[in-house]
Amino acid sequence: MVQLRSYILVALFIVLIAAEATIVKGDANGNGNGNKGNNNGNGNEGDDNGNRNKGNNNGNDNKGNGNGNDNEGNNNGNDNKGNNNGNDNKGDGNGNKNGGKEKNDDFDEMEPLPSGQERASCKAKGGCNMKTLVCPAQCPEKKPKNNKRKKGCHVDCSSKCEVTCKWRKPNCNGYGSLCYDPRFVGGDGVMFYFHGAKGGNFAIVSDDNLQINAHFIGTRPQGRTRDFTWVQALSVMFDTHNLVIAAKKVSQWNTNIDALIVKWDGEAINIPNDGEAEWRTNEEEREVIVERTDSFNSLRVRVAGLVEMDIKVRPIGKKENQVHKYQLPDDDAFAHLETQFKFKKLSDLVEGVLGKTYRPDYVSQVKIGVPMPMMGGEDKYETPSLSSPICTACRFKGQSASGIATI
């Protein structure tokens, strides 16, 4: 009996040794060189941390989806060929050597077709999600470079799920436009005029995280009871920053001379005419891009997650002056802005001359059918200065940058 028990103990000992060997060679956790499991270790071909990790997370020479040097995946790392942050990043996010590709909330850039037609993979919610849209042959690029005046490819990942060729200039009859003296088309599609006052500043949009003010210039001919007015400057306030776009005062208009002023937090910035023809910055994870859409006097502005604007500077011509009887002086062309806004995320309680027309429950108070339907509210929306977020109805909760009182 004693001998039988000895045989049983020896057999159990052999089984335990075999089981331990199986565990060591198996798929569980284990640190060490040459570990083929799923977690940590040098030479790890599994899914987590380790040098020369061919899995999905952290490690040097990581070919997976996470962090690491020479990372071919989707997130952070040097020489990152994925979609997010990293030096020498060839994807869509922030980093040096980004290749000029713009990070977009609605789609990810894809490699163009051999024909040069750009492609986009939609990531907006809805039926267009994950679909690939290809730019038409007539406008293969979203941002034409050789001739900025050409139509660009517009990618729409909404329920329309389409690509179209569009001029990259403000459409004064389109939604969210602000043109002429000054005439608005609201988010509800209704056209109206808001005259403001010569030398006044008014909140065009005021929301929790965005405020856009406009500075009005104007003149009052003899015998009139109100000013003729135009928008000469816009101040875009968000987070702790302030972007100002303005038209210079010019005595004689010349289409080949730039009349644009652009300031970032009070400092003048230069928008180049060659190459990408843009200025950009990444502040607090929010990208801001100011891009020329013509050689002179035309811009596209994008503040990531908040607003896009197409802006053009134009003068009051002699014929226009005569027809409308503005009686403008000979030494001032009254250069002003034509703008079209596209907002990303406005709250249901957004305010402002234009902003309130984007409320879901908004009902226009202007008289439809009259030649010049008027919108009041000067008392509610007037601000002390172009860069001030304060007005009776203003909602902006951020802080504008200092030192931006004048143009």
Closest CA to 71 of 48, 82, 99: 82
Higher pLDDT, 192 or 24: 192
Q: How would you list the strands of the sheet with 336-343, edge to edge?
A: 191-193, 183-185, 177-179, 336-343, 307-314, 298-303, 286-292, 278-283
Lowest mean pLDDT among 16-25, 96-105, 177-186, 231-240: 16-25
pLDDT score at 283: 66
pLDDT score at 243: 97
**C-beta separation of 172 from 362 below 8 A:** no
- Cα(100)–Cα(239) distance, integer angstroms: 24
pLDDT score at 386: 98
The DSSP string of 87-149 is TT--SSSSSTT-TTPPP-SSEEEEPPPTTS--EEEE-SSSTTTT-EEE--TTS--SS-SS-TT
Lowest mean pLDDT among 89-103, 167-181, 217-231: 89-103
Helix (H, G, I), strand (E, B) or coil at 303: strand
- Cα(68)–Cα(74) distance, integer angstroms: 11
pLDDT score at 399: 63
Confidence of residue 175 (pLDDT cuts 50, 70, 90): very high
* Contacts with 38 (C-beta within 8 Å, 6 or more apart), sequence order: 27, 28, 29, 46, 47, 48, 55
pLDDT 10s digits, 374-386: 999 999 999 999 9
pLDDT 10s digits, 231-285: 999 999 999 999 999 999 999 999 999 999 999 999 999 999 888 899 999 866 7
Confidence of residue 62 (pLDDT cuts 50, 70, 90): very low
User: Count of CB atoms within 10 A of residue 48's CB?
Assistant: 19
Q: Where are the alpha helices (DSSP H) in 275-377?
A: 318-324
Strand partners, 212: 205, 236
Q: What is the percent of the chain where pLDDT is above 90?
A: 56
- Cα(168)–Cα(161) distance, integer angstroms: 19
Tokens of 263: 């300031």
On the question of pLDDT at 356 being above 60, the answer is yes
The DSSP string of 325-350 is T----TT----EEEEEEEES---TT-
- Cα(36)–Cα(44) distance, integer angstroms: 5
pLDDT 10s digits, 1-17: 445 455 555 455 544 44
User: Count of CB atoms within 10 A of residue 352's CB?
Assistant: 28
pTM of the model: 0.70
Q: Which helix (H) or strand (E) holds 3?
A: helix 2-24
On the question of pLDDT at 30 being above 50, the answer is no
**C-beta separation of 394 from 203 below 8 A:** yes
Q: What is the percent of the chain where pLDDT is above 70?
A: 71
Number of residues assigned to the chain: 407
Higher pLDDT, 187 or 273: 187
Hey, which bits of 248-334 come out as E strands?
Answer: 260-264, 267-268, 278-283, 286-292, 298-303, 307-314
Average pLDDT on 167-192 reads: 95
Per 3-state DSSP, the chain is made up of helix, strand and coil in percentages (nearest 5) of 10, 25, 65
**C-beta separation of 83 from 73 below 8 A:** no
Closest CA to 198 of 216, 222, 174: 216
Average pLDDT on 73-82 reads: 37
Place of tokens 């968000």: 238
pLDDT score at 133: 94
Give the distance, in angstroms, between the CA of residue 219 and the centroid of all CA atoms in the same chain: 35
Lowest mean pLDDT among 74-88, 261-275, 294-308: 74-88
pLDDT score at 55: 40
- Cα(24)–Cα(16) distance, integer angstroms: 12
